[in-house]
């Protein structure tokens, strides 16, 4: 159980275009989803927290108009990188937190990541 | 949030136990100790967490000192597939469930 998927697993796009990344919790309802970014040889950096049906909360220094997050259902969150530039090239990872109902522990489970390359 | 200190890297032999230390001397009473690992080019994987008691699951054991200022993750029989970056994270017992990842320990299991 507790499987989180991401799509696509990798994407190459041209500078100035927008890219959408999907994050799905496959076997549980995610009350909260998180988006992280990881540059080569660095650790994960939290970008934003999203709760279903409400606006995302962005970490300091993350541009909310550039990284659009939509959490329309309890199993799906999307991250759209708008007007992507080469410096946005990174490994984007989502995580989903289940609830406490039914014996759940509310832990975060991570997706496999999406590697974005902007040319 | 309390910070953690981990050695940057360590090697261990396949089939032997791997003991990964973590210092969290500023931990407060309402903070949990979590361990995640990240295999190269994959998302992090949850391993185990605890508050003050030692914990064991199918993956590992977590030993937390009585003063809670340090902990050790034990992989009982390391395999080559356990090669990864291991993150020790202290998380407040709050509602936001945010995780703050440090540099972690790069563990290399050698045959």
**pLDDT, tens digit, 9 for 90 and up, residues B19-77:** 999 999 999 888 999 999 999 989 999 999 999 989 999 999 999 999 999 999 999 99
The gap from C-alpha A75 to its chain's centroid, in whole angstroms, comes to 12
A-chain residues near B43 (CB < 8 A): 4, 6, 93, 95, 110-113
Distance (Å) from the C-alpha of residue B43 to the closest C-alpha of chain A? 4
> How many CB atoms are closer than 10 A to CB A34?
27
Instruction: Look at residue B8 in the predicted model and tell me its pLDDT.
Output: 97
- Report residue A98 as tokens: 């289940």
Among B77, B100, B80, B83, which Cα is nearest to B31's? B100
Residue A102 has pLDDT above 70, yes or no: no
CB of A34 less than 8 A from some CB of B: yes
A29-47 pLDDT, tens digit each: 888 999 999 999 999 999 9
CB of B45 less than 8 A from some CB of A: yes
Give, as one character, the DSSP assignment of residue A27. Answer: S
B-chain residues near A108 (CB < 8 A): 46, 97, 99
- The predicted model gives A70-99 an average pLDDT of 93
Per the document, the length of chain B is 111
Mean pLDDT of chain A: 91
Residue A100 has pLDDT above 70, yes or no: no
Candidate from A74-83, A91-100, B6-15, B54-63 with smallest mean pLDDT = A91-100
- Chain B: residue whose CA lies nearest to A39: B41
- Report residue A69 as tokens: 């997050």
- Residue of higher predicted confidence among A39 and A100: A39
> How many CB atoms are closer than 10 A to CB A76?
16
């Amino acid at each position: 159980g507790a499987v989180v998927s991401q799509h696509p697993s990798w994407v190459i796009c041209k500078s100035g275009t927008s890219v959408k990344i999907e994050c799905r919790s496959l076997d549980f309802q995610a009350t909260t989803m998180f988006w992280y970014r990881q540059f080569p040889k660095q650790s994960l950096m939290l970008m934003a927290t999203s709760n279903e049906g409400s606006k995302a909360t962005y970490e300091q220094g993350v541009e909310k108009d550039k990284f659009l997050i939509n959490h329309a259902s309890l199993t799906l969150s999307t991250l759209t990188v708008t007007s992507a530039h080469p410096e946005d090239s990174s490994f984007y990872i989502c995580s989903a937190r289940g609830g406490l109902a039914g014996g759940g522990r509310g832990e975060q489970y991570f997706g496999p990541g999406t590697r974005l390359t902007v040319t | 949030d309390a910070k953690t200190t981990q050695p940057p890297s360590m090697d261990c032999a396949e089939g032997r136990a791997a003991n990964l230390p973590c210092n969290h001397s500023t931990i407060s009473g309402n903070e949990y100790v979590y361990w995640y690992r990240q295999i190269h080019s994959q998302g992090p994987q949850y391993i185990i967490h605890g508050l003050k008691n030692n914990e064991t699951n199918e993956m590992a054991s977590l030993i937390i000192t009585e003063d809670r200022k340090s902990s050790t993750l034990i992989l009982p029989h390391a395999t080559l597939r356990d090669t990864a970056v291991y993150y020790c994270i202290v998380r407040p017992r709050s509602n936001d469930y945010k995780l703050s990842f440090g540099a972690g320990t790069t563990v290399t299991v050698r045959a």
